[in-house]
Amino acid sequence: MEPRLLLGSGPSPVPERVLRALAQPTIGHLDPQFVAIMDEVAELLRATFRTDNRVAFPLSATGSGGMQAMVDTLVEPGDRVVCGVHGAFGARMADALGRAGADVVRVEAEWGRAIEPERLIEAWTGGRGRSRAMFVVHGETSTGVVADLTGLAEAVHADDGLLLIDCVTSLAGHPLDLVAAGVDAAFSGTQKCLNCPPGLAPFTVAERATDRLSRRSWYFDLDAILQYWLPGQDRADPGGTTPRAYHHTAPINMVYALREALAIVQEEGLEARWARHATAHEALRAALAELGFERYAPEGEQLHPLLCVRPPEDCEEASVRARLLGEHGIEVSGGLGPLAGRAWRIGVMGEGARPEPQRRLVEGVATLLGRDARDALDALDQGWA
Amino acid sequence: MEPRLLLGSGPSPVPERVLRALAQPTIGHLDPQFVAIMDEVAELLRATFRTDNRVAFPLSATGSGGMQAMVDTLVEPGDRVVCGVHGAFGARMADALGRAGADVVRVEAEWGRAIEPERLIEAWTGGRGRSRAMFVVHGETSTGVVADLTGLAEAVHADDGLLLIDCVTSLAGHPLDLVAAGVDAAFSGTQKCLNCPPGLAPFTVAERATDRLSRRSWYFDLDAILQYWLPGQDRADPGGTTPRAYHHTAPINMVYALREALAIVQEEGLEARWARHATAHEALRAALAELGFERYAPEGEQLHPLLCVRPPEDCEEASVRARLLGEHGIEVSGGLGPLAGRAWRIGVMGEGARPEPQRRLVEGVATLLGRDARDALDALDQGWA
């Protein structure tokens, strides 16, 4: 295969170290050696989510499967759910909730803008006593916008509701404190700021929500998965004497890879990593602005790991993007929904959030547009200085 | 990690070739290079399932996720479903169907025996005009028994119903002809006779059933997945002009591995592979019989890829099994449910279905039981001769 520099909406660049872990010999899902790895992964995930929730493990599905698991375990048919929609991933959740029979109250905002928390709270309050959950996409991958979670948990919890978030693109790349924000459940993916191949959905549920779990899905039965991942921590056996119970065969090799990817995050430190992503985002934004690319998200609403920009007038976005991939081996993503044909979505994720890959991108784009790259590269250097 | 010879109920031994494929650099899920791989995998899966169904792709979940997808897409709440239960995996399906609101009619048989097709047909006929589907575990991994599918499709189709099967352990290891058997949908796993790590669920749906697909699950929406995997083959666009539509990010590296694993199956040839598994099963059965292990399944009901045996009286099964793993690095599985403490489940799967690993197993077991291995090894050799 031709090599690729993955600077799109994900998957992101996977380090050799993670690929080597992935290719370790497969062992059994109840082998003591694997059990030790599961324990490590759960601990590393807690550190990455910054929580001590018992439910903190990777579901055996991609990030979108994590979304489905959230619907299947935390929402019942007929429940009123306030759902923020300001991009493809909020719309997808509203769709999934509706399919599950929820009464979905959509709170919309223009694609490329954040939703004002007041509007979400208003929608919640309008259904006081009748709402079960509020769902917000913390990092909207389709527009590069981060959600403001301020005040949401207070409103939701006052009414005994649940605050649910999608942090697929923000986890380990954008500041997020689940405990401080009062988040009751969150799902993520492995192929964004964790730099792991896609295939697992890190998932966590706060203690207060664990007695609200539906078991209508066999595969996403979090109680049963807890008995496999963390026996003795399930409700049926708080003392911890029940032996580990097989639920389903874990994706062994993907779990190896995730352990390695999470270890890399901890080696760098979560706050240092967040800071690096902020720097990388601003450096690349400034560099691409020199080439005529304008960010959609206004200052203060930008999601660091995903820079969503409007290409300049003279850039035929689809063909330039195809040539960037074909001739330069660099992947960036196009727009979705109303932004199709009108946006590039550029990943600033983990190993992609470094000067060297960003330099290659800026040079490649300048070449294809027939521009001088010097000012853009200077802006990039200044951003990193 | 200590090396393991995986001769349990799965995962099975993964060849170096497959591990190398797994560790190829991750690329984008819409990259033309990846799209070509998806097309190949779909073709290889059709050849392995022996069908030309359009819906033939790996779902982004483990085999158990394939089971959930079958429930979520082919059964509606309130549907009457006849479900064969003669082991843990039939019981699991009955559980999953019940959670989904189906009216489950269980047809049971003793663990270790097959269910007579007549009894399944009788249960179907008893609900004539009111049943939607019949579910049968083709290869019951908990007992090592293969299902007899004779006559089932005729009865089910006469009533416009669907015949659904679990072929997790039988696919590519035990004779199975989905078309001849009239199977409407089947799910499998990657970690049994395909010798791929766990993490994907090969899935197929016959043409006659594709207009019966429920879309109540977002993640397992087979119509939407078809538009991603095989655009132009979905119902909305039979002519094939709609571009490939992103649904969710495929588990890229696992798909690389599955392609390699399926290619190995085709290189050997499906019928030669089935024959090898039959030989390997009988050789190992005869060898272990010399050491006092007796197969549960009577002749004619045995599932070649999974040999489920009763250990001899003087074998403390759990401790011998633990020593086999700890001292000899060989994994075999214990019994589930009523067979817990009373059975060993030995995988005869792909690269595990060869003389050399079986010889190691026989020698290890003989050593731990303090028996002379000669007669057992002779029986093994004769079985392979």
Final residue of a structural domain among A204, A238, A267: A267
Q: What is the reported pLDDT for B238?
A: 57
Q: Is the peptide bond before A11 cis (omega within 30 degrees of 0)?
A: yes
Q: What is the CA radius of gyration of chain A?
A: 21
3-state secondary structure of A232: coil
Q: Are residues B211 and B277 in the same domain?
A: no
Give the ipTM of the model, two decimals please. 0.97
CATH of the domain at B137: 3.40.640.10
CB contact under 8 A, B254 and A67: no
Q: Are residues B240 and B103 in the same domain?
A: yes
What domain count does chain A have? 2
Q: Give yes or no for A253 touching B (CB within 8 A).
A: yes
The parent domain of residue A307 ranges over 5-10+269-384
Q: What is the reported pLDDT for B234?
A: 58
Q: What is the reported pLDDT for A240?
A: 57
Q: Are residues B132 and B244 in the same domain?
A: yes
Return the residue matching tokens 């190995």.
B264
- Chain B residues in contact with A198 by the CB 8 A cut-off are 26, 29, 249-252
CATH of the domain at A364: 3.90.1150.10
Write phi, then psi, for B330 (nearest 5 degrees): -115, 125
Minimum-distance CB partner of B198 among A1, A8, A251: A251
pLDDT at A28 over 80: yes
- Chain B residues in contact with A201 by the CB 8 A cut-off are none
Q: What is the reported pLDDT for B325?
A: 98
Among A residues 199-238, those touching chain B with beta carbons less than 8 Å apart: 199, 215-220
The residue type found at A355 is P
Final residue of a structural domain among A267, A289, A320: A267
Question: What is this structure's pTM?
Answer: 0.97
| pLDDT by residue, tens only, chain B of 385 residues | 999 999 999 999 999 999 999 999 999 999 999 999 999 999 999 999 999 999 999 999 999 999 999 999 999 999 999 999 999 999 999 999 999 999 999 999 999 999 999 999 999 999 767 899 999 999 999 999 999 999 999 999 999 999 999 999 999 999 999 999 999 999 999 999 999 999 999 999 999 999 989 999 999 999 999 999 988 765 555 555 667 888 999 999 999 999 999 999 999 999 999 999 999 999 999 999 999 999 999 999 999 999 999 999 999 999 999 999 999 999 999 999 999 999 999 999 999 999 999 999 999 999 999 999 999 999 999 999 9
DSSP A243: P
Q: Are residues A102 and A207 in the same domain?
A: yes
Q: Are residues B160 and B301 in the same domain?
A: no
The residue type found at B178 is L
The residue type found at B244 is R
The sheet carrying B294-295 orders its strands as: B294-295, B306-310, B344-347, B333-334
Q: Are residues B115 and B187 in the same domain?
A: yes
Q: Give yes or no for A92 touching B (CB within 8 A).
A: yes
Residue B227 structure tokens: 């538009």
CB contact under 8 A, B1 and A33: yes
Write phi, then psi, for A84 (nearest 5 degrees): -75, 130
Decide if B134 contacts B164 (C-beta within 8 A). Answer: yes
Q: Are residues B48 and B190 in the same domain?
A: yes
- Half-sphere CA count of A25, side-chain side, radius 13 A: 15
Among B residues 72-91, those touching chain A with beta carbons less than 8 Å apart: none
3-state secondary structure of B111: coil
Among B residues 130-169, those touching chain A with beta carbons less than 8 Å apart: none
Q: What is the reported pLDDT for B94?
A: 98
Q: Give yes or no for A185 touching B (CB within 8 A).
A: no
pLDDT at A57 over 90: yes
Q: Give yes or no for B197 touching A (CB within 8 A).
A: yes
CB contact under 8 A, A61 and B64: no
Minimum-distance CB partner of A99 among B11, B217, B248: B217
Q: What is the reported pLDDT for A237?
A: 57
Q: What is the mean pLDDT of chain A?
A: 96
Q: Which of B6, B192, B214, B218 to mutate to test the interface with A (most CBs of A within 10 A)?
A: B218
Instruction: For residue range A208-265, list pLDDT tens digits in order.
Output: 999 999 999 999 999 999 999 988 765 555 555 667 888 999 999 999 999 999 999 9
Q: What is the reported pLDDT for A130?
A: 83
- Chain A residues in contact with B228 by the CB 8 A cut-off are none
CB contact under 8 A, A216 and B63: no
Q: Which of B27, B70, B225 to mutate to test the interface with A (most CBs of A within 10 A)?
A: B27
Q: Give yes or no for B319 touching A (CB within 8 A).
A: no
- Chain A residues in contact with B344 by the CB 8 A cut-off are none
- The continuous run of DSSP H or E covering A104 comes out as strand A103-108
B170: closest CA among B156, B181, B161, B162? B181
Residue B346 structure tokens: 């030995």
Q: Are residues B143 and B280 in the same domain?
A: no
Q: What is the reported pLDDT for A239?
A: 59
Q: Are residues A259 and A294 in the same domain?
A: no
B320: closest CA among B297, B343, B351? B343
Final residue of a structural domain among B238, B267, B296: B267
What mean pLDDT do residues A90-115 have?
A: 98
- CA B312 to chain A, closest CA, distance in angstroms equals 24
Instruction: For residue range A153-188, list pLDDT tens digits in order.
Output: 999 999 999 999 999 999 999 999 999 999 999 999
Q: What is the reported pLDDT for B243?
A: 75
pLDDT at A266 over 80: yes
CB contact under 8 A, B26 and A8: no
> What's the angle, vertex CA B177, arms to CA B267 and CA B232, rounded to 5?
75
Q: What is the reported pLDDT for A129?
A: 76
Chain B: residue whose CA lies nearest to A19 = B23
Q: Are residues A215 and A289 in the same domain?
A: no
Residue A288 structure tokens: 């691409």
Return the residue matching tokens 């403390």.
B316
CB contact under 8 A, B249 and A28: no
Decide if A174 contacts A274 (C-beta within 8 A). Answer: yes
Q: Give yes or no for B325 touching A (CB within 8 A).
A: yes
A380: closest CA among A369, A368, A370, A364? A364
Q: Which of A125-129, A200-204, B76-80, B120-124 has the lowest mean pLDDT?
A: A125-129
Q: Are residues B250 and B331 in the same domain?
A: no
Give alpha helix (H) positions in chain B: 16-22, 32-49, 63-74, 88-99, 117-125, 152-158, 178-181, 222-229, 252-268, 270-290, 317-328, 355-369, 374-384
For residue A86, what pLDDT band results from cuts at 50, 70 and 90?
very high
- CA B93 to chain A, closest CA, distance in angstroms equals 9
Residue B128 structure tokens: 């004539």
Distance CA A365, CA B263 (A): 39
Residue count (chain A) = 385
CB contact under 8 A, B25 and A31: no
DSSP B26: P
Q: Are residues A43 and A187 in the same domain?
A: yes
Q: Give yes or no for A64 touching B (CB within 8 A).
A: yes
Q: How many CB atoms lie within 10 A of CB A159?
A: 16
